[in-house]
Amino acid sequence: MSKLIKDSVKKAMDYAQYNLLFKQLVDEGRSTGEHDQMKVDYTKLNFSRTKRLDKTAKIGEEQAEIFKNISSKRTWLVISEPWCGDAAQSLPYINKIAELSDNIDLKIVLRDENLELMDQFLTNGSRSIPVVIMLDENLEVIQQWGPRSKAATEVVTTYKEEHGVIDDAFKELIQVWYNNDKGVSIVNDLAEMLEVSV
C-alpha cells in the first residue's frame, strides 16, 4: 500500500486546485464521474456551501493551539468528490486547520478516479467520503478520519434505526445539523486524534 499512497500524494491537488475544479464544473454544468443530473445539482449546491464556509468557518483558540503545535511533518490526504455533501461541510474546516500549521500538507484526490486507494479505507464496507488519511513524514499511515464526525455519525445511525433508510428528509435534517454545529464536531475529532498521535 505504501506505493499506492505515495503515487496518490504525487498526483493529488491542493485545496486551491480542488476549488478551481469545483468552479469549473459548476460553470460548465458538469460533475465529476459519469454525467448524472443529481450529481450536477449537488455539485452546484456544494460549491455555494463551500464558498460560504471558506469565508465563515472558524477554529476555536484551544483547538487552534493543538494544530499550531504539530512538531513533525504530516500529509493529510483527503479522498473527496465535489458532489458529496459531507465533503462540502468538512473540507473547508480541514483546510482551515491545515492553514494553521506549517507541518500539515493538505492534498485531495477524487474518489472515483482512485478506487484502489478508496478501497483501502472503507467505512463499514462502503466507499463513504470524505476520508482524511493522516500520513507521517515518510507517508506512512498514522490514522484516518471520516466520512463524518462522531457526532454526525450518531445522527445518521439514530435516523437509520428510526426510519430504516437515508432519504430526502434526512438530507435536510443533516444539513440543519451541520449549520448548527458550525464545524465544532469535525474540529474536535481531528484535535483529539492529533493529541493521541503526537
Q: Nearest-5° angle of CA 14, CA 15, CA 17?
A: 70
What residue ranges define each of the domains in the chain, with the CATH number in brackets? 2-197 (3.40.30.10)
Instruction: Check residue 74 and give its pLDDT.
Output: 95
Rounded CA gap, 69 and 113, in Å?
Answer: 34
Torsion angle of the four alpha carbons 56, 62, 68, 72, in this order, in degrees rounded to the nearest 10: -130
Q: How far is CA 29 from CA 22, 24, 35, in A?
A: 11, 8, 10
Contact by Cβ (8 Å): 106, 46: no
Phi and psi angles of residue 141, each rounded to the nearest 5 degrees, phi first: -70, 125
pTM, two decimal places? 0.93
Rounded CA gap, 22 and 39, in Å?
Answer: 12
Report helix, strand or coil for 114.
coil
Rounded CA gap, 64 and 186, in Å?
Answer: 13
Helix (H) / strand (E) containing 77: strand 74-80
Q: What is the pLDDT of residues 44-95, one digit of tens each?
A: 999 999 999 999 999 999 999 999 999 899 999 999 999 999 999 999 999 9
Instruction: Check residue 136 and give its pLDDT.
Output: 95
Reading the block at residue 184, the C-alpha cell is 465544532
User: Lowest mean pLDDT: which of 104-118, 138-152, 184-198?
Assistant: 184-198
Stretch 14-41: mean pLDDT: 94
pLDDT value at 109 more than 80:
yes
Q: What is the pLDDT of residues 123-181, one digit of tens each?
A: 999 999 999 999 999 999 999 999 999 999 999 999 999 988 888 889 889 989 999 99
Rounded CA gap, 76 and 88, in Å?
Answer: 17
Q: How many CA atoms lie within 13 A of 112 on its CB side?
A: 10
Instruction: Check residue 196 and give its pLDDT.
Output: 59
Q: Tell how strand 131-135 and strand 141-145 pair up.
A: antiparallel
**Burial category of 163 from C-beta neighbours within 10 Å (exposed 0-12, middle 13-18, buried 19 and up):** exposed
Helix (H) / strand (E) containing 177: helix 168-181
pLDDT value at 197 more than 80:
no
